[in-house]
Structure 1
Amino acid sequence: MEDGESTATDHEVQNHLAAAAKHIMMALKACRNLTDDTKKVLSDLNSCLPNKLILGEYGGWLLIDSEEQIKHYGEVIMRWETELGMIWDHGDTEASSYLNAVTEIQKIVKTIGSHPMLLSNGKQKELSLRAHHILQRAMSKLKQELMHILIQHKQCFAPEYMSFRSHVEDAVYDESFISVEEDVIESLSSGDDSGSSSDKCLVNLIHPKAISSIKSIASVMFASEDDKEFCRSFVNIRKDALEEYLAILRMEQLTMEDTLKMDQNALSCEGKKWVWALRIIIRVYLRSERCLCDQILGEFGRVSPNRIFIEIAGSAMWQFINFGEAIAMGTPQPERLFLVLDMYEVLADLMLDIDSLFNEETGSRIGIEFHELLSRLADYAKGSFSEFRNCVVSDRPRKPFSSGIHRFTNYTMNYLKTLITYRETLNFLLHDLEADGLDCSPEPENGEEISSYVSCPLAQHARLLASLLQENLENRSKFLKGEPMQHIFLMNNINYMVQKIKDSELRQYFGDEWIRRLIGNLHRHANDYIRTTWSSALLLLKDHVELDVSPFHRPSHRSRCNKFIAAFEEIYKSQTGWVVPDSQLREDLHISTSQKVIQAYRGFIGRNFAQIGDQYIRYNGDELENLVLDFFEGSTRSLGSSRRR
């Protein structure tokens, strides 16, 4: 009985509601202008009514005021279709009003869409189409506003924020690209991915005050399911910004064919820019770009910020990859080794950052390509190192050369000196590189321990290269005329090797014992120089007893003195034109010549002064000693024009 009464009561309630709805409908038809309070009461009533009343006979009344809303908010939206200028340029109030109008139109469209039966009414259908049209125009305007804000509030940090520092000191490839002042780059390393390090790498690519505006536009466009248009516009503008920044860094859009056609100087210049730009782009720009994507799109589940980031960064990354591939696919050349080592080192240093930025499925291909490029650069570096070794072995004179320091010695030693600045990388790359005749670590002396520097792979290869250079110089010297000049040439070049090793970090890699052996070789050539230059002249100053010459064939002391002076004058004329650039070596040769030759001359004159006669002695010992000081100055003289000291 109670259930029946309850059912009857519900039925009566429904009838009362229906009657009330009829009265409301009549009142609404009579009243064209509703107050806000009235609209709120009707809205509250709407939320309480059962669906069957909304969609039934009395449902039409719910959209009675939609026409007024569409008209009002439509005017707010469409006003910006005719007015010049951008909404956000007119201040936050205008922007907020516009967004509110769009939101209200979205509600009307959503309400109509959620009750399809309402569209059976022709008037309601017309209103629905009008609301959709206004909303479509609003989405188009918001897309323009988004692009305008992204461009207007774009920020680019100066390239000096991070600097490029090449290891190369005595460069063997072009150094024309101007590096900037060193700065925060020294504090950054790929192994330090801590928060503090990351914070130092982040910059604002969009002015902070514009972020809320961009997010509000995103929220409204996403609510209208216009997320694809938002993302497309966002990606295009951010891609353009990245390309503009690459232009600021002087990175040109080069194809692989363009790269392969470059000469060495142009390629070195582009390579240095590649190294410098890649570090800035990966460690600063793209980290900041990824943060921006997360900041703008992180709240919307339908779109992956990472996917958007990949779309923005992808083409620029392929530009870097393609340049590296073009380098790595070429024939290994010694003159490109340091460029490739710079590229290898910066890429190895950035691999953790690259893996972090491109770690999901959409970006994994880029990460894989960078890993493969790193491997190819390593192979190219090892190939170039081997080619350099072959060059040291096989290089032969192509044009006449003097007794001074040969350009090939200078090139090789500076090359070795530069190799040391890449020691960690080369120790890693060379540990399995075969080297026939590899010069192993020197034997320890007096129980001393061998330094780890001396025994590392780079040290062993460096000593081998220096030994091969000595062999090359020995062979090269044979192209010079006469043994004395050959020994001067070898002394000049070996002394240059000694100084380069002793005065640089090469010393700890060669070890003192190896340097002593090299100096011993230098002394041997100095002694051989004295022997081959002066042996025949010194024979003239020997006593007859020493010479064991028959009395019938003994030349007079005066004749022997004259012949010695003639030999001295001939040697003087040739060897004043020879060059010994190192002042200490030149002085040592002067002293050695004086001790061996001038002392012998003084002794001969002293023993045989009476037999020779004062008038026949053209030079005394002091005068000859002063003339020896003219040797190796690089300016040919004759005794008639020589300076007397």
Structure 2
Amino acid sequence: MGDVMGDFAPITPTNECEEHVFIAARHMLKALGTSKNVSDDLRRLLADVDTHLSRRTQITVNMIDVTREVEEQLKFAQEKIMRWESNTSTIWASGPEKASDYLQAVYDIQRLTASLRSSPSSSSGNQKELLDRAHSVLQMAMERLEAELLHILAQNQQSFEPEYVSFHSCEEDIVSNVSIVSTEDESIGNTSRRDSSGTESEDHIVDLVHPDLISYIKSIANVMFASHYDQEFCHAFTNFWKDALDGYFFALRIDKLSIEGLLKMEWNCLNGKINKWIRAVKYVIRVYLAGEKRLFDQVLGEFGSVYSTCFVEASKGPMLCLLNFGEAVAIGTRRPEKLFKLLHMYEVLADLLQDVDSLFSSEVGSFIRTEFHELIMKLGDTVRATFMDFGHAVALNPSTNPCSKGVIHPLTKYVMNYINTIVVYACTLNLLLDGVQDGAELVPFAQNISLDNFCPLAHHLRSLTSYLEHNLDDKSRLYKDSSLKHIFMMNNIHYMVQKVRDSELVTLFGGEWIREYTAKFQQHATSYERVTWSSALSLLRDDGNTSRKSILKERYRGFNIYLEEVYKIQTGWFIPDTELRKDLRISISQNVIHAYQTFIGKNSGVIGEKHINYTADELENFILDFFEGSPMRLPSTHKK
């Protein structure tokens, strides 16, 4: 390229020779015209030829003048272009005047090229040589402009990153390590609820380059398009932003993994990646790509569909990467703990649907719109299937050993914390579960749940608690002690009522359900008292057959033996809820203490003071030891 100036030798002598030939011919015609031996007809013919040669001479002179002018202008423009070939500085960094001067030189070469192409003698050797040289200079200028474009973009690309990146740089190692299978209260909610971090930046379109530089980039685009180097500009511009988006993916800590690789990934690892994916997909679509499309429109908008084609080309790779990740999660193995992430992903994509439709509204971007819509549908299908699978798992959950001390079963905590977390996604689940059967055939009495005045989610959650109650009833049959069976059912149903009453679930279950299930755990408390204390109280009852002293003493001794056995066993049982434990103790005391006081009051003289082991107050204190979870023994009698 550097030899272009050296090869630019003057090309006008050939035209000057042609001019001399025409002049010589005209002199010969004039000499013949003055000859007396020429006829009138020949004289007229010679005059016509002279006129033609005169015109041709004038055209040739004009062409020589034009060629000289084009040559001078091309030389002048070329000097401006070549001046920067040996200059290590960038044109636009040298100031707007230098840049404007360079662009004007390029426009001059474009004009001269067009002039040479349209010239009648463009096929002549001289003008063809000029045209070739103009093309060479133009090619050189285009290469320089492409380099200038990339330099401007690289040097002036706005440096920014999502606010959450710095706070979550180690997130993959620490997030969501607590499994949903945990039965500790609130563990599910704390690890599965939406993460709202970074929302401030998600709704702000960014400038990918400083706004002041847009006019520079656009000026390069205009001159390259005018020079028919539009493909070169688009290729350079598009590839730059492809690479830039790859860089932002790295900043967002998004790994480009295959669907197969994601399907093989352990849930704890995948869970952390889903958290990052959720933040990234919102940021990339609503912030980054929105800014990128605005930039492409500002630079290429006046060139018609070119700008949308370039935008889609620059963004399709990362978009498909994000969508492939979502698809891998959607088609992966269904597990209950995945439901919340699936719901979150579904809601995020549904919220971004209009953004995607707007970003890729052109025909060339229709395939991305289609894939996005299809992913939302797949996630919705997976949410429904996972939710229904959960109900089936609750109904059919097996047990081989009874729960120690009659406490709240892990399944009860699991289910109630699970559905308590689901409330966050009530609107979405109502949409997805509308018209879906709840599988009531798994639990016969679940078929009696009325649909009246209940949304789809409420109906399914009430069915879930029916499944749970039915399963708990099966588990209670594992207890050999009937009293403990009722304590177990009371504890678990009370927990269910408590979790509904003290949360947003109350709006879905309603007061009727709370009253119904409150009555159920109260009935189990009553049944416990009947099964446990009815035989003991019968020993203290006056049935008209207590006239004999030996019978009274035997009954009293039998009551004490029974009390010691019940005390030893039931102090080891546990009622976790303080109020429920207190209420049951009070109820026991009211029945047992009253009967004991009456019996002792009537028969103390017969039994003998020294044989009465415990006072009523002592007996009441013993009852206060019940259901604390630590087995105890009654103190030895202090009566002598």
1:615 corresponding residue in structure 2: 610
Q: Distance in 1 between matches of 2:291 and 2:611?
A: 91
Q: How does 1:98-247 map to 2 (within 5 A)?
A: 98-115=102-119, 117-118=121-122, 120-122=124-126, 124-155=127-158, 157-160=160-163, 171=188, 174-175=191-192, 179-180=196-197, 182-183=199-200, 201-247=204-250
Offset, 1:538: 2.1
Asked if 1:91 corresponds to 2:77, the answer is no
2:369 corresponding residue in structure 1: 367
2:516 corresponding residue in structure 1: 517
Q: How does 1:90-489 map to 2 (within 5 A)?
A: 90-115=94-119, 117-118=121-122, 120-122=124-126, 124-155=127-158, 157-160=160-163, 171=188, 174-175=191-192, 179-180=196-197, 182-183=199-200, 201-301=204-304, 304-397=306-399, 401-402=403-404, 403-437=406-440, 454-489=453-488
SS in 2 for 1:296: helix
Select which of 66, 74, 81 maps to 2:78: 74
Which residue identity does 1:574 align to in structure 2?
A: I
SS in 1 for 2:84: helix
Contact 1:255 1:322 in 2 (8 A): yes
Contact 2:19 2:61 in 1 (8 A): no
Q: Distance in 2 between matches of 1:589 and 1:536?
A: 18
Which residue identity does 2:517 align to in structure 1?
A: L
Q: 1:117 to 1:616 in 2, by over 3 A?
A: same
Q: Distance in 2 between matches of 1:216 and 1:54?
A: 41
Contact 1:177 1:269 in 2 (8 A): no
After TM superposition, the structure 1 stretch with the greater mean CA deviation from structure 2, 172-181 or 492-501, is 172-181
1:588 corresponding residue in structure 2: 583
For structure 1, the 5+ residue unaligned runs are 1-17, 27-50, 186-199, 444-449
Q: How does 1:15-94 map to 2 (within 5 A)?
A: 56=60, 58-94=62-98
Q: Distance in 2 between matches of 1:321 and 1:531?
A: 61
After TM superposition, the structure 1 stretch with the greater mean CA deviation from structure 2, 472-481 or 86-95, is 86-95
2:540 corresponding residue in structure 1: 541
2:37 corresponding residue in structure 1: none
SS in 2 for 1:86: coil
SS in 1 for 2:83: helix
Q: 1:641 to 1:395 in 2, by over 3 A?
A: farther
For residues 235-271 of structure 1, the C-alpha deviation after alignment (integer angstroms, 9 at most, x for no partner) is: 1111122222233333221210121012222222222
Offset, 1:364: 0.9
Q: Distance in 2 between matches of 1:641 and 1:73?
A: 118
Offset, 1:282: 2.3
Offset, 1:234: 0.8
Q: Distance in 1 between matches of 2:68 and 2:470?
A: 103
Which residue identity does 1:636 align to in structure 2?
A: P
Offset, 1:59: 0.9
Q: Distance in 1 between matches of 2:412 and 2:279?
A: 31
1:37 corresponding residue in structure 2: none
Q: Distance in 2 between matches of 1:539 and 1:425?
A: 57
Offset, 1:471: 0.6
Backbone CA RMSD of aligned residues? 3.3
Which residue identity does 2:500 align to in structure 1?
A: I
Contact 2:402 2:475 in 1 (8 A): no
2:567 corresponding residue in structure 1: 572
Contact 1:431 1:457 in 2 (8 A): yes
Q: 1:127 to 1:516 in 2, by over 3 A?
A: same
Contact 1:154 1:205 in 2 (8 A): yes
1:635 corresponding residue in structure 2: 630
Which residue identity does 1:472 align to in structure 2?
A: N
Q: 1:161 to 1:401 in 2, by over 3 A?
A: closer
Q: 1:441 to 1:490 in 2, by over 3 A?
A: closer
2:530 corresponding residue in structure 1: 531
Offset, 1:513: 1.6
Greater C-alpha Rg: 2
1:33 corresponding residue in structure 2: none
Contact 1:174 1:269 in 2 (8 A): no
SS in 2 for 1:97: helix
Offset, 1:134: 2.2
For residues 357-413 of structure 1, the C-alpha deviation after alignment (integer angstroms, 9 at most, x for no partner) is: 222221111111122222222211111111011011100126663221111111111
Which residue identity does 1:325 align to in structure 2?
A: E
Which residue identity does 1:414 align to in structure 2?
A: N
For residues 496-545 of structure 1, the C-alpha deviation after alignment (integer angstroms, 9 at most, x for no partner) is: 10011111121122121221111111111001111222233223222252
Which residue identity does 1:355 align to in structure 2?
A: D
Offset, 1:56: 4.4
Q: Distance in 2 between matches of 1:131 and 1:463?
A: 82
For residues 539-576 of structure 1, the C-alpha deviation after alignment (integer angstroms, 9 at most, x for no partner) is: 3222252xx58x78x85434433332232222222222
Q: 1:182 to 1:481 in 2, by over 3 A?
A: farther
Q: Distance in 2 between matches of 1:422 and 1:177?
A: 9
Which residue identity does 1:531 align to in structure 2?
A: R
Contact 1:55 1:115 in 2 (8 A): no
Q: Distance in 2 between matches of 1:578 and 1:475?
A: 20
Q: Distance in 2 between matches of 1:52 and 1:336?
A: 89
Offset, 1:231: 0.4
Q: Distance in 1 between matches of 2:502 and 2:157?
A: 51
Contact 1:176 1:269 in 2 (8 A): no
Contact 1:439 1:463 in 2 (8 A): no
2:183 corresponding residue in structure 1: none
Of all paired residues, the percent bearing the same amino acid is 45
Offset, 1:311: 0.6
Contact 2:193 2:340 in 1 (8 A): no
Q: Distance in 2 between matches of 1:60 and 1:490?
A: 111
Q: Distance in 1 between matches of 2:138 and 2:457?
A: 70
For structure 2, the 5+ residue unaligned runs are 1-14, 24-54, 169-175, 181-185, 441-445
Normalising by structure 1, we get a TM-score of 0.80
Which residue identity does 2:343 align to in structure 1?
A: L
Asked if 1:598 corresponds to 2:596, the answer is no
Q: 1:544 to 1:230 in 2, by over 3 A?
A: same
Q: Distance in 1 between matches of 2:58 and 2:526?
A: 118
Contact 1:60 1:118 in 2 (8 A): no
Contact 1:54 1:62 in 2 (8 A): no
